[in-house]
Structure 1
Amino acid sequence: MTSSAAETADVVVVGFGAAGACAAIEAADAGARVLVLDRFGGGGATAISGGVVYAGGGTRQQRAAGVADTPREMADYLREEVGDTVSAGTLRRFCEQSAGMLDWLAGLGVPFDARLCPYKTSYPTNRHYLYFSGSETAFGQSAPRGHRVLARGTSGRVLFARLADAVRQRGVVVLAQTRAERLITDAAGRVTGVECRTLAGWARPVHRVLHRWSVKPGLYLPGLGRALHRPVAWLERRYARPLRIAAGRTILCAGGFVFDRAMMREHAPDYRGGLRLGTPGDDGSGIRLGVAAGGSTAHLDRVSIWRFLSPPAAMLDGQLVDRDGRKVGDLSRYGAAVGEAILRSPGARAWLLLDAATLARARRQLWSQTLWFQRWQALWLLTFGKVTGATLEDVARRAGVDPAGLIATAGAATGLPPYAMLDVSVRNRTALPAPMLTLGGLRVDEETGRVLGVPGLFAAGRTAVGICSRSYVSGLSLADCVFSGRRAGRAAAAAVLSGRPGAAAHDLGGHHADRG
C-alpha cells in the first residue's frame, strides 16, 4: 500500500463508540497524544442504543431511590450471567468500580436520574430512568441496576454526544471517515501503526449523509439498509486515499460482527433471521485486524438474541409454550434469556398464552408503559398477532400447538376464557423481529486489555472478550465498553509514557505498563 500522507500519535484508537471514546479520554488524561479514527462519523452502536449503563453496588441513583445494593451482591448475580468468561478478580473489580464508573461518566456530563420504574419492562418510559434491566429477581435479588441516561426516547445519542465532547475537549484528534485496513508490525511482531484509507473533499459530506440515511432503515429493514449502504461503500472504494499512522500503542474498539454475514454464518449460524443491532461498522473488521496481527478469539459463537414480552407488564402473567404445549423458559428473566430459550425450542417457535382478564390488563397498560418502538410491536401482538379460542383446546388448534400438551402445562383452571395465543417466535419477521448482537471477540489480558500474543495492541468493547461475552443483560455491554475502554486507554498510555526519559511512577497514574 503506497501512502500519500502520514500521521503519528502515542496512542491510536480504532473506532469511536463508547469504548473508543473512554479509551481516548483515559489515554489523554494520562498525558498521551491520542488520535482516534472511525470509518464513519463516530457513535457506532452506542449512539443508536438505549443508553442504558448497568451499574450497582450503591450508585448515587440507587441510594436516592432508596435501593440497597453492594458490590458483592452485584457480583453474586453477575456470576450467574458471566460464568467463567472473565476471572473472579476481574468481575470483582468491575463491580467494586461500578458506582465510581457512573460518577466518572457523570463528571463528563452524562446525565443520570434516580426515578425508579415500578414494573418489569424491557426499557422504561420517559418517566423512569432506573429499572430492573436484567434477571435479578429470578435470582432472588432486589436491586435494580439499569441506569438509563437522562434523555427522551432512546438515550444512546446523548451518552455518545457527551463522551465525544469530552474527547474533543482534551485536544484528541478525531479522524472521521477513515477506515483501518491493516496493522503495521515490526520485525518482532509489535504493532507500530495502522494503514488506513480516508475520504477527502466533496466525498466526505456525501458519504456522511448517505451513511446516516442507511443506519436506521438498516435496523428495521435489513434489505433496504444494505441497498442504501452500497453507495457509501462505493465512495470509500473509489475516493478514499491512503493514510499511514504511526502509533506507540494501538487500541481496537471497532465493535462486533453482527453486520458481517460470513462471520455470522461461520460462528453463529443458529441466529439467522434476527434483527441486527448495530451499524455497518459492526462488520468484524476490528476482530479481523487483531487476528491478522497474531491475536486469537473466543466466544464468537455467543450471540444475544432478545424476545421481550413486556411492556405491557401484564404480558408476564401469561404462559410461554412451544409447539408441543410445553413450558418455555422463565418469564422473570431478561429478554435475552427468554429469546435463547425460544431459539432452542422445536422450530425456534413459541406462543404466549393469555386469558381474557390478562389480555384486558395488557391493553389498559399499553399506552402508559410503552415508548413508540415498543408500542407498535405490542399493538400488533394484541390485535393481529394473536389467535383466540373459547377453550384451551380450541385456541391451541388455531395456533398450531398440541392441545394435549397445552392443557397438561396450563392446567384446567388457567383463567377466564376466551383465551389468546400470541406468536412470539424469534423468527417471526412479519412484525416482531428479534434484535441480536455479537458478544465474543479478541482474547485480552484482563489487567490491561492487551491483545494476547500481539505486543503493542489492545482491544476493548465488543471487539474484545469482556464481561458480557457469555450472557447479556441490558446495559452490560455499554458498562463493559466503559470499563474495558478505560482500562485499555490507561494501560496503553502507561506503556508509551514509561519508555520516555524521566518518566516517573506518579506520572503514569500508578498503572502497570504493558511491557509486551
Structure 2
Amino acid sequence: MNGAKVNTNTPILAPLQAHTLTEQDWHDSCDVLVIGWGAAGACAALEARSQGCEVMVADRFTGGGASAKSGGVVYAGGGTQQQQDAGFNDSPQAMFDYLKHETQGVISDATLHKFCADSVSNLNWLEGHGARFAHSVPPGGKTSYPSDGYFLYYSGNEKVPSYAGSQPPAPRGHRTVGKGQCGAVLYAQLKDACLRAGVQPLLQSAARRMVVDATGRVVGAELWSLPAGSREAHLHARLAARAERLQNFAPGYCDRLRQKVAQLEHDHAQPILVRARLGVILSTGGFIFNRDLIREHAPKFRRNFKVGATGCDGSGLRLGQSVGAQGERLSRVSAWRFINPPYCWPKGIVVNTQGQRFCNEEVYGATLGQPLCEEQGGQAWLVLDARLRQQAIRQALFGGYWWFQSVPALALMLLRVRKGQSPDQLAQACGMQPGQLNGALRAYNAAARGEAEDVFGKSKDSRQVLDKGPFYACNISVDNPIFPLGALTLGGLKVDESNGAVLDDLGQPIAGLFSAGRTAIGVASHLYISGLSLADCVFSGRRAGLAISNTRHADGSVQQSNASPVLERTAP
C-alpha cells in the first residue's frame, strides 16, 4: 500500500453505454443483479429466485451490512402468532392507525395499509427461511432493547398517550431469537437461504457504475472486485470485519482501518462487467458514513455517532442518481437519544441550554433525538433530583440491563454531571437562563402532583415530583463522548410504491432499475422506530424482487417500453 490517503466511499462513475461494448466485454450475466447483500438485498434475491430468475448479488464486503449489526428487531403486528401467544390483540387497522402517526405521509395510505396487511405473512416468510421469533415480553417499563430471553416488546411510541389509538396498544417489536444483538442471527438465516436457493454471490465486489442501453434502460453494472482467495482479499475481509466490530468502542481507529480497506480496493480491485437481463436492484443501505453527503444534506448531524456499517456510504443512492434517479428526503436523519433504561429516567425532565423543556421524555429515543439535534443544536440536559438519581443508579446496577445500557447510564450520572443544591444553583452551574429551569420544574411538579396536565402530554405513570435536593443535570448532548448520540440516514431514492421501480425527476420509472431497503424511500423514511427498517427491508425487498421478475414475458424476453438494448457483437 502507498501512503496516499484515499476516500473511503465507493467511487461512483458515469454510466457505461452498452452500445460501446462487445459481447466479449461482459464477464458474466444473470436475470437479476442485486447490489448490496444486507437484509433488503437478501429478501429481493430470494423473491426473484423463487420466480425462477437467475440471480446474482454483489456486495462490497462479504454481506450483512447494517442489517447484521442491528438488533434483529422486525416491526410486525396485526395479529402475529407471537402477539396472540403473549395475550395481545392487534389488528392491521390498529397497526395502521399507529404508524400513520409515525410516518406522517412519507408513503401513501394505500402502501401503509398493504405494509400492515402483509405484516403477519412477512414475519411467517422469514420464519419459513429459518428465522425464529418468540412471545416472551420483558418485565418493567419501556426499554431501548430487551435483555436476553425476551423477544416481544413495545419498540416505538405505542404506549405514549399522544400516539395511542382507539384500541389498546400492542407490542410489535419482534426480536429474532438468539443471544446478544440478534441482527447477525437474522442475517445468517437470510444469507443461508440465498445460498440454498442458488443465488450466486459476488463478494468484495463494489458496484462503481451502471450500464445502460441506447434507450436509457439499465442493463448491468461494472463491479470492481478483489481477486477471490487472494492475500489482499483475506486482508480486506479481516480489516473490514474489525472496523465493524470495534466501531462502538474506537471510531477513530476504525476510520483508519477503513482507509486501509479503501486502499486495498484502490490498488488491487479489477473491473468486471455483469449483464442483467431483467435489471438491477439497488439495496446498499443509507449514507451515514459518507461525510460529504451528510455535510451537504444534513449538516446538523455531522457530530453524531454513526449507526450503520462501512457500506452505508450512499453508493446505491449515487448509482441511481448517475442514471437520472431522484433523491428525496436526504436531510432526514434519525438521531437516537435513548433515556431508557434505566426505566425511571423518563420521570426526569429534559431541558435545553436555556433550562426549558422541549419534549415528552417518555417517547422513543429517535423521537427525542430529532428535536434535540434539529431544534436545540444538539445540546440538552437530563435533570434529576436526589431521589430519582438514586433510583436510577440502583436500576442501572441491579436492573439486569445490557452493559451498553447500564455502563453509559452510570457514567453519565456519576462522571459527567452538574450539581446544585437548588434549581437556581443547578441552572447557574449549567449556564442556563436564571429562573427558566425553576419554572420548568414548578410546572412539571404541578403535573406530577395531579394539579395540572403535563404540557407535553407525559403519561401519569411517567411523572414523578422532583423536589428533593441536590439536583443533578446529566449532559445528554451530541458531543458527550461517554454517552454517544447515534444517527442513521432515512432518505433515499424515490420509487414507485407499487413495485419499487426507481423514479427519475419527472416521476417516471427508470427501466431496469429497482431499489429496496434504506437506499429507497420507504416506511421508515420519516422517523425511525425499532424494527421498522428491517420490516421495510422485507416488505420492499420482496416487492422489488417480485416486480423485477414480472418484467419478463412468458417467452423469456424482457418487457420493453422502448427499443431493445443495442449491443455490438463480434463475429464468432
The offset of 1:395, in angstroms, is: 2.0
Percent of aligned pairs with the same amino acid = 43
1:260-409 to 2 correspondence within 5 Å?
260-366=290-396, 367-409=398-440
Amino acid at match of 1:488: A
Q: 2:108, 2:554 → 1: CA distance?
A: 27
Give the aligned partner of residue 118 of structure 2: 97
Amino acid at match of 1:461: G
Amino acid at match of 2:487: M
Q: Do residues 192 (structure 1) and 219 (structure 2) align?
A: yes
Q: Do residues 209 (structure 1) and 238 (structure 2) align?
A: yes
Amino acid at match of 2:369: G
Larger mean CA deviation between 317-326 and 167-176 belongs to: 317-326
Q: 1:259, 1:117 → 2: CA distance?
A: 33
Q: Quick one: structure 1 residues 318 and 28, their matched pair in 2 at CA, closer, same or farther if it must change by over 3 Å?
A: same
Q: 2:315, 2:477 → 1: CA distance?
A: 31
1:151-166 to 2 correspondence within 5 Å?
151-166=178-193
The offset of 1:375, in angstroms, is: 2.0
The offset of 1:369, in angstroms, is: 4.1
Larger mean CA deviation between 144-153 and 220-229 belongs to: 220-229
Q: 1:451 aligns with which of 502, 509, 520?
A: 502
Q: Do residues 494 (structure 1) and 550 (structure 2) align?
A: yes
Q: When the two structures are aligned, how many residues end up with a matched partner?
A: 505
Q: 2:341, 2:373 → 1: CA distance?
A: 21
Give the aligned partner of residue 137 of structure 1: 159
2:185 is paired with a residue of what secondary structure? helix
Give the aligned partner of residue 268 of structure 2: 239
Give the aligned partner of residue 114 of structure 1: 135
Unaligned runs of 5+ in 2: 1-15, 446-464, 504-508, 563-572
Unaligned runs of 5+ in 1: 504-512
Q: Quick one: structure 1 residues 166 and 16, their matched pair in 2 at CA, closer, same or farther if it must change by over 3 Å?
A: same
Q: 1:422 aligns with which of 474, 479, 491?
A: 474
Q: Do residues 52 (structure 1) and 78 (structure 2) align?
A: no
Q: Do residues 250 (structure 1) and 280 (structure 2) align?
A: yes
Q: Is the 8 A contact 2:372 2:378 kept in 1?
A: yes
The offset of 1:18, in angstroms, is: 0.3
The offset of 1:169, in angstroms, is: 0.5
Q: 1:463, 1:514 → 2: CA distance?
A: 25
The offset of 1:401, in angstroms, is: 2.4
Give the aligned partner of residue 228 of structure 1: 257
The offset of 1:220, in angstroms, is: 4.2
Give the aligned partner of residue 30 of structure 2: 9
2:399 is paired with a residue of what secondary structure? helix
**Structure 1 stretches (4+) deviating beyond 6 angstroms?**
1-5, 513-516
Q: Do residues 464 (structure 1) and 520 (structure 2) align?
A: yes
Larger mean CA deviation between 464-473 and 320-329 belongs to: 320-329
Q: Quick one: structure 1 residues 389 and 420, their matched pair in 2 at CA, closer, same or farther if it must change by over 3 Å?
A: same
The offset of 1:343, in angstroms, is: 1.6
Q: 1:324, 1:123 → 2: CA distance?
A: 31
The offset of 1:426, in angstroms, is: 2.4
The offset of 1:297, in angstroms, is: 1.1
The offset of 1:231, in angstroms, is: 1.5
1:352 is paired with a residue of what secondary structure? strand
What's the RMSD between the two structures over aligned residues? 1.8
The offset of 1:388, in angstroms, is: 2.3
Q: 2:534, 2:174 → 1: CA distance?
A: 11
Q: 1:346, 1:17 → 2: CA distance?
A: 34
TM-score, normalising length: structure 2: 0.85
CA deviations over 1:37-77 (Å, ceiling 9, x no partner): 10000000001111111111111111111111111111111
Q: Is the 8 A contact 1:220 1:275 kept in 2?
A: no
Q: 1:394, 1:111 → 2: CA distance?
A: 53
Q: 1:369, 1:323 → 2: CA distance?
A: 33
Q: Is the 8 A contact 1:442 1:465 kept in 2?
A: yes
1:496 is paired with a residue of what secondary structure? coil
2:159 is paired with a residue of what secondary structure? helix
Q: 1:75, 1:54 → 2: CA distance?
A: 12
The offset of 1:415, in angstroms, is: 2.8
Q: 1:27 aligns with which of 24, 40, 48?
A: 48
Q: 1:107, 1:401 → 2: CA distance?
A: 56
Q: 2:421, 2:81 → 1: CA distance?
A: 51
Q: 1:38 aligns with which of 59, 71, 96?
A: 59
2:552 is paired with a residue of what secondary structure? helix
Amino acid at match of 1:137: K
Give the aligned partner of residue 506 of structure 1: none
Q: Do residues 218 (structure 1) and 269 (structure 2) align?
A: no
Q: 2:248, 2:330 → 1: CA distance?
A: 21
The offset of 1:82, in angstroms, is: 0.9
Q: 1:91, 1:358 → 2: CA distance?
A: 40
Larger mean CA deviation between 357-366 and 160-169 belongs to: 357-366
Q: 1:237, 1:35 → 2: CA distance?
A: 24
Q: 1:49, 1:491 → 2: CA distance?
A: 27
Q: Is the 8 A contact 2:35 2:282 kept in 1?
A: yes
2:546 is paired with a residue of what secondary structure? helix
Q: 2:561, 2:545 → 1: CA distance?
A: 15
Q: 1:154, 1:67 → 2: CA distance?
A: 25
CA deviations over 1:69-116 (Å, ceiling 9, x no partner): 111111111111111211110000000111111111111111111111
Q: 2:555, 2:402 → 1: CA distance?
A: 52
Q: Quick one: structure 1 residues 399 and 9, their matched pair in 2 at CA, closer, same or farther if it must change by over 3 Å?
A: same
